[in-house]
Structure 1
Amino acid sequence: MEDTINLKSIINRELMIIDSLTDSKKGILEELCYLLQEKKYINDYQKFLEDIYLRESEGVTGIGEGIAIPHGKSIAVKDTTVAIATLKNEIEWETLDGENVKVVILFAVKDTDATTTHIVLLQKVATLLARDTFIKKLKNINTKDELYDLIINS
């Protein structure tokens, strides 16, 4: 039960996009950053986007199975959180399995949260992604409520 409460502190329906029509990695990263700024989780869109690309340059964030987990640790992040998008159509992404991406889970990490509970919570989300049944359900989500419930109750 405690895990559920903790995940609720970083998983928000308002930071979810279902069936995004974007057709590129750049497009979805910009769309998610815009959403984070609009909902006031970041205070500098451009700085956060730069920090995401800095992390992207350090290694692959496409973990396979159609999932990418880009992330940025940044002074632009006001509150550590996760923004999630499912895509109407798969997009190209550098991935461990060479496959395109259908779900993007963007971790926005406040620079001062690098070693705190928030990172542990983010790791819990990553742990969910190691389960085949979770991934299968994730790729077939139709609503924000379904997505939220899947994450919180898994």
Structure 2
Amino acid sequence: MDLAKVIKKETIKLEMEATTKDEALRELVELLFENNKISDKEAFLEDVLYRESLGTTGIGNYIAIPHGKSKFVNKTSLALGRTKQDIEWETLDGLPVRFIILFAVTDEDKTSVHVKLLAKVASTLGDDDACAKLLVAKTNEEILNIFSAGEEN
């Protein structure tokens, strides 16, 4: 699983307008829809919200990794976004969220590919330095580089 195949410049937004968790999820879902990664915004959002109801996706270090495994996903993808301000989110460390990685996973990929993708992203996010860089990166290319550096580990 090559992260470069699922993280694209077009699905990274470093100046999100969202001020709430719901707005953040909607904004990233919209980004996926605009780039033809999902077929139905509202239905996919329902799948993401259902998954959110099962347990926290705020992993700490100001980062959340919500995800939706859904028949409305055209191509397994990630939408990455950074908010202009802290957002209240249920997190493992009690801190708010500023960087969100929304997983959009097809039904076909929901087992092995999803687990591999999550493992790849987790290996990058397991590095506190990489997490700090995500919060200050200036360009989409910098974000891509942070994740591709994690690939080399």
TM-score range, shorter chain: over 0.9
Per the alignment, residue 114 of structure 1 pairs with: 110
Q: Is 1:54 aligned to residue 46 of structure 2?
A: no
Q: Which runs of 4+ in 1 moved over 6 A?
A: none
Please, which of 58, 61, 69 is the counterpart of residue 73 of structure 1?
69
Per the alignment, residue 40 of structure 1 pairs with: 36
Identity of aligned residues (%): 43
For the residue of structure 2 that corresponds to 1:119, the secondary structure is helix
Q: What letter matches 1:29 in structure 2?
A: L
Per the alignment, residue 13 of structure 1 pairs with: 9
For the residue of structure 2 that corresponds to 1:112, the secondary structure is coil
Q: What TM-score, normalized to structure 2?
A: 0.93
Per the alignment, residue 146 of structure 2 pairs with: 150
Distance 1:19 1:142 in 2: 10
Distance 1:152 1:36 in 2: 21
Distance 1:94 1:65 in 2: 12
Distance 1:118 1:24 in 2: 26
Distance 1:128 1:61 in 2: 16
Distance 1:147 1:91 in 2: 20
Distance 1:117 1:68 in 2: 20
C-alpha RMSD of matched pairs (Å)? 1.2
Distance 1:18 1:146 in 2: 11
**Which range moves more in the overlay, 126-135 or 111-120?**
111-120
Q: What letter matches 2:54 in structure 1?
A: E
TM-superposed deviation, 1:126: 1.7
TM-superposed deviation, 1:119: 3.4
Distance 2:7 2:31 in 1: 14
Q: Is 1:104 aligned to residue 107 of structure 2?
A: no
Q: Which runs of 5+ in 2 are unaligned?
A: none
For the residue of structure 1 that corresponds to 2:23, the secondary structure is helix
For the residue of structure 2 that corresponds to 1:37, the secondary structure is helix
Distance 2:51 2:38 in 1: 17
Q: Is 1:30 aligned to residue 26 of structure 2?
A: yes
Q: How many residues align?
A: 150
Per the alignment, residue 63 of structure 1 pairs with: 59
Q: Which runs of 5+ in 1 are unaligned?
A: none
TM-superposed deviation, 1:143: 1.1
